[in-house]
Amino acid sequence: MDTTNKTFAQRWYQTEAVDACIDFLRDTEPGRNAIIAMPTGTGKSVVIAQIVKFICQWPENKVLMLTHVGELVKQNADKLRAVWPQGDIGICAAGLGRRDTKQSVIYSTVQTVYSLLKRDKYALGRRRLVIIDECHLLSENENSMYRQVLAKLGELDPKMRVLGLSATPYRTKEGKLTEQENAIFTDVAYDLNKDFARLVEEGYLAPLTSVKTPVEVNLKGVHIQGGDYNSKEVQEAVGNDVLLEQACNVMVNEGRYRRSWIVFVSGIKNAVRVREMLERRGVAALDVTSANAAAANAQAIADFRAGKVRCLISANQLTTGFDVPQIDLIAVLRPTISTSLHCQLLGCGARPCAGKTDCLVLDFAHNIARLGPINDPVIKERKPKGELTEEEKQEEKEEAELLPRNCPNCGALLPPRTRACPYCDYRAAQELDVSDLTGLTPLAYIKHVPTIQNSRVWQVSSFVAGKYQSRTSGEHMLRVRVGCTGNGADFNAHFYLNFDSRRDPVRFDAAKTWLQFGGLDPIPRTVSEALSRAKELKPPREIELIKKNWYQKRNYDELIRVYYD
């Protein structure tokens, strides 16, 4: 495969991923296949499109792109058409009503290709490169669809290469994909997951915020079967009436200022019950389950994208690659021991969107404490069968210490091995210095530390919105100064709205604060516009805030809620 030249994508990491893939294909022999690991929401479809466009410069290089659902087929194919309008592109997906087989580039579902090759192994001809999107679905079972498709295509072209892309390139029982028995993938050509914190800082991903929920799914008596919790038992555990009612109360309370919610729940019946409970609480909601007609699910998703409904409830649907950037609240009522599924569920909230500052995760399933935060998940190493040795038992104990846990005093979700809670100053029995925190990287866990646990409601005594210029950067902003009183203390809280910032998170935070203080749509695009419309902002009766959250390196007051009469 000739790979003399390179191509360039839109973002720095997309360019790096494309170049790393091309270098790998150029410098290695057939039989070596690579994975590109990229967090959900970072634009894998752009990377796929750029790689396909480059590879197809040579007529002998024909490409097949495989995935498991029609929506991803369409999404990836549309991106290639945008990048390469003149490309010879076909779609082969029964669910989309297309069975193209002759084009140089075919985007397809694995199910449709499997059925075609079962009847005729020459149906798609020779394919020099096969790309698998969401490649974590490729198991080591030789009788699986993916394995059989790759085997038949490999018979036609011994030089065929396979490229996989996934946010989670591992499986619960099989470990990393490169460690599978008879592994298809031999190398990781590019791993962007390690730069998750940087992507958040630069605005390519939205931060995830998690608060401790007052209720959690009780998994006592639930067994593990087939690599995850027993489906029937976990549905019964989730289906507790008291749990679901309380969970819906928490969603309504925490989501009052949130725009788009998605709820992942175990069981079709439970999904319907959650929808009905939310509707009784005044929340426009729809469920997406396998019990619904495909057209009904498609319409529900379309209405959710368009903002016609606030909440979508999913039962074993929409767990991979669901692309709706405005999602700013995820409620998890689906316990799992699958790190891959856990990260995929959270990943749908990490896409940035105008007006979105973060995505709140309500983890009623306790998955974060069990499997880790999205940017530092627990990936278990593949171990040989048999009883654990004493050394392995000690290793498991040490691994448990690396998991986040809740503060026994205030409930805050703490980074691993933290003994002094940064929110309530609770310490374990043995007194340790605050210097214990210095070895941590706060940003790596910042998005999974609850903020509301240490907040306080204050009465508002004064409210002034006006022009402000930063002494350090010289930037102009709209500053809202709120006089707060209560509990025998008076102080001024300051909120800085910088609509001119070049960083998306700063602009998103300004937009959220503008709306919380009663500002009208459309949201100002510049500081000048905001200053001219400052009179739209209304003094509230009370505000809930965290004063200068030092642990999250925020040298400013953090606004949680605003209360009007």
How buried is residue 365: exposed, middle or buried, by Cβ count under 10 Å (0-12/13-18/19+)?
buried
More confident residue, 425 or 325: 325
Average pLDDT (201-211) is 88
Note if the bond before 522 is cis, omega within 30 degrees: yes
pTM metric for this prediction: 0.64
Question: What is the third-level CATH fold of 12-195?
Answer: Rossmann fold (3.40.50)
Type and span of the H or E element at 112: helix 110-119
Q: Are 463 and 480 spatial neighbours (Cβ–Cβ below 8 Å)?
A: yes
Q: Please report the pLDDT score of residue 557 as a whole number.
A: 80
Statement: residue 190 has pLDDT above 80: yes
555 confidence band (pLDDT: 50, 70, 90)? low
What 3-state class would DSSP assign to 215?
A: coil
439 confidence band (pLDDT: 50, 70, 90)? very low
What percentage of residues in the chain have a pLDDT greater than 90?
A: 40
Distance from C-alpha of 178 to C-alpha of 505, rounded to nearest angstrom: 35
Q: Please report the pLDDT score of residue 448 as a whole number.
A: 35
How far is residue 499 from each of residues 257, 528, 533, measured CA to CA in Å? 20, 9, 13
Q: Please report the pLDDT score of residue 411 as a whole number.
A: 45
DSSP state of 427: B
What amino acid occupies position 71? E
For residue range 325-352, what is the model confidence (pLDDT) as tens digits?
Answer: 899 999 999 999 888 888 888 888 988 8
Residue 495 structure tokens: 């909120």
Average pLDDT (66-94) is 89
> Quick check: do 12-195 and 206-382 share a fold?
yes
What stretches of 422-504 adopt beta strand conformation (E)?
456-469, 476-486, 489-497
Q: Where are the domains of the chain?
A: 12-195, 206-382, 455-563
Q: Are 267 and 238 spatial neighbours (Cβ–Cβ below 8 Å)?
A: yes
For residue range 372-402, what is the model confidence (pLDDT) as tens digits?
Answer: 888 777 666 655 555 556 665 555 555 444 4
Closest CA to 51 of 89, 16, 18: 18
Residue bearing tokens 């604060």: 513
How far is residue 350 from each of residues 324, 447, 504, 527, 562, measured CA to CA in Å? 10, 11, 13, 27, 25
Least confident of 2-11, 253-262, 422-431, 534-543: 422-431
Q: Are 209 and 451 spatial neighbours (Cβ–Cβ below 8 Å)?
A: yes
Distance from C-alpha of 268 to C-alpha of 274, rounded to nearest angstrom: 10
Average pLDDT (395-413) is 49
194 confidence band (pLDDT: 50, 70, 90)? confident
Closest CA to 479 of 538, 427, 531: 531
CATH of domain 206-382: 3.40.50.300
